[in-house]
Structure 1
Amino acid sequence: METSRQSLMNKVVESVKKQLPSGLSCVGEGERILIGRTDAGERKDRALLEIPLAPLFSRAEKSPQDAALFTTAFVERVLVIVRGQLREHRLEGAEEQIYPVLRHLSFIKRAPERWAYQPHTAETAILYAIDDREGYQLIEKNMLEETGWTIEKLHQQALDNLQRLPVPKKKQQVGPHLITFIAPTDGYAASRVLHPTLLQEMEQNRTGDALGVAIPHPDVLIIGDLHGKTGADLLTRLAYDFSSKSSLPISPLPFFWEKGELIPFLAVSHEKKHMEAEDG
């Protein structure tokens, strides 16, 4: 397996190098790649970006036949991040381009002093991005300091912009459970969970025992009107499956929406045959 991972890393590094702007380098280290200035060599403290390879490894190992497709998609996402990071962005003048993004807490823990963020759940945190549709840049604390913005002002500006985005819904009935998929292609599907009224409205309209929510990766938000244990089992499977197939997973765990809060849970099914019959 190590040889396979090394091979994947080499392919990513080689492909990224070919497409990087001049003056930038890409090296592999352990289970991540480092993007940096050419004159910075391999020094971690001078790296422009550190991107973990674990999500790519996981996807490729589960579906080896699709490893080439996964690698191509991973490289494309890396290049989008690089393009956004290279732009000289300021908060002033870019107010309409600021959006909230969700990340797993492990992302924050790698450099907690770097990012402008707020806690979200026990699994996730809210970061913020400036998006000019050609690339995006995550907002760092020093950008707030330069502009004199508070994190509260940044958060409100991001929510105001989020509310202007459409919320397309695709509903699917699975037994007694009604599953709603929100998957626009703007990169902020999961961020819709922060919409001030979305979950409140769905909670008011539910007919089941609980409202379940999954934010497996940035490009999908899953909301379930769930009935009993089989509903919790179903959402658990969906959250895990969608998260495991993404190059940028957020949370493999689903949540219950309770009194305005997202509470993570893990359902372990001992009735697989019953669930498959019901879901079919």
Structure 2
Amino acid sequence: MAMNSIKMKKLLDDRFNNPEWRTSFNRDKDVYRVEWQDTHQGISITVPNVIAKYEQSGENAIDELVYHVEESLKMMHVKQELEGKEKQIYPVIRSTSFPKKTKAGVKMVYSDHTAETRIYYALDLGHTYQLIDQKMLDTEGWTLERLKEISMFNVRSLSTETKVDQVAGNNFYFIATRDGYDASRILNEAFLEEMRLNAVGELAVAVPHQDVLILVDVQNEMGYDILAQMTMQYFAEGRVPITSLSFIYENKHLEPIFILAKNKPTNENETKKDE
């Protein structure tokens, strides 16, 4: 018998049966919600999306959903402090379309990066992390500069071991540890400088989604075309997509590029502006 919204709602009711939580189902919007009884903070789940994943992966899809919802609910219910947790603070890369405020209207803490990307800051909680907002910063009496300095120090401590593939005479390097900070390694300037110094051609860099950093020693025009196709594919498949554009790294600067029909990189500085 095919799965439908009502059956899925009953399945989710069973899995989220907790006296401290309240569940509800909006039939008009096909949205299931789980929230804390006392604070009403919670997670809204689009049921058709869950059904689609269930039809592909069965119970594994529900197990994964329950795990992520439970982790997120726990994170909402615990007051997070920064003091004493300096080693757990990391920068995370997001697109410039990522919200600048929380749903509660609190300003997120972020720094400018490129025309396509922005740097946010996260407190690592083990299996997940919490993005740091202005309220958390004010409570601790921290400045953005202190937060930035701590996070950049920590990102430099992350492994930069790469997997290497040679495609059409171009060397492609991948970091995909899935520790939540793969794309963040683009902020490790010493690493980028080392890669640039050892490159035969130009060094191109891409962060299509949170869980991968791609670096390419581009030695011919085909390299740009392959990178463009690869970045677009990764961007479409990423759990937390960032940007489908790639960058040229030169003189300690990242310049967004796009690929024309003749596989030639073109400066996009005049057409892309910071939001």
Q: Give the TM-score of the pair, scaled to structure 1.
A: 0.74
Give the match for residue 179 of structure 2.
186
Is 2:15 the partner of 1:18? Answer: yes
Contact 1:188 1:219 (C-alpha < 8 Å) held by counterparts: yes
**Amino acid across the alignment from 1:129:** A
Q: What's the offset of the Cα at 1:65?
A: 5.4
- Distance in structure 2 (CA, Å) of the matches to 1:152 and 1:13: 48
Q: Any gaps of 5 or more consecutive residues in structure 2?
A: 264-275
Distance 1:50 1:233, change over 3 A: farther
Distance 1:94 1:23, change over 3 A: same
Give the match for residue 146 of structure 1.
139
Q: What's the offset of the Cα at 1:80?
A: 3.7
Higher helix share: 1
Give the match for residue 243 of structure 2.
251
Distance 1:236 1:98, change over 3 A: same
Distance 1:128 1:16, change over 3 A: farther
Is 2:193 the partner of 1:196? Answer: no
Give the match for residue 215 of structure 1.
207
Spell out the pairing of 1:124-163 with structure 2 (5 A cutoff). Answer: 124-163=117-156
Contact 2:168 2:223 (C-alpha < 8 Å) held by counterparts: no
Contact 1:168 1:184 (C-alpha < 8 Å) held by counterparts: no
**Amino acid across the alignment from 2:92:** V
Give the match for residue 217 of structure 2.
225
For residue 103 of structure 1, the aligned residue among 94, 107, 124 is 94
**Amino acid across the alignment from 2:210:** P
Give the match for residue 81 of structure 2.
90
Q: Give the TM-score of the pair, scaled to structure 2.
A: 0.75
- Distance in structure 1 (CA, Å) of the matches to 2:234 and 2:9: 22
Contact 1:17 1:26 (C-alpha < 8 Å) held by counterparts: no
Contact 1:83 1:135 (C-alpha < 8 Å) held by counterparts: no
**Amino acid across the alignment from 2:163:** K
Q: What's the offset of the Cα at 1:11?
A: 5.5
- Distance in structure 1 (CA, Å) of the matches to 2:13 and 2:187: 33
Larger deviation: 128-137 or 72-81? 72-81
Spell out the pairing of 1:64-79 with structure 2 (5 A cutoff). Answer: 76-79=67-70
Q: What's the offset of the Cα at 1:108?
A: 2.4
Is 2:110 the partner of 1:117? Answer: yes
Residues 77-104 of structure 1, C-alpha deviations (whole Å, 9 max, x = no match): 4544443333221011111111111112
Distance 1:146 1:263, change over 3 A: same
Q: What's the offset of the Cα at 1:37?
A: 3.7
Distance 1:193 1:13, change over 3 A: farther
Contact 1:35 1:49 (C-alpha < 8 Å) held by counterparts: yes
- Distance in structure 2 (CA, Å) of the matches to 1:242 and 1:12: 32
Distance 1:136 1:22, change over 3 A: farther
Contact 1:17 1:25 (C-alpha < 8 Å) held by counterparts: no
**Amino acid across the alignment from 2:204:** G
Q: What's the offset of the Cα at 1:73?
A: 5.1
CA RMSD of aligned residues (A): 3.6
Contact 1:12 1:71 (C-alpha < 8 Å) held by counterparts: no
For residue 159 of structure 2, the aligned residue among 141, 166, 169 is 166
**Amino acid across the alignment from 2:242:** I
Identity of aligned residues (%): 32
**Amino acid across the alignment from 1:229:** E
Larger deviation: 228-237 or 173-182? 228-237
Q: What's the offset of the Cα at 1:258?
A: 2.7
Distance 1:239 1:195, change over 3 A: same
- Distance in structure 2 (CA, Å) of the matches to 1:12 and 1:162: 41
Give the match for residue 266 of structure 2.
none
Equivalenced residue count is 253
Largest Rg, 1 or 2: 2
- Distance in structure 1 (CA, Å) of the matches to 2:13 and 2:247: 36
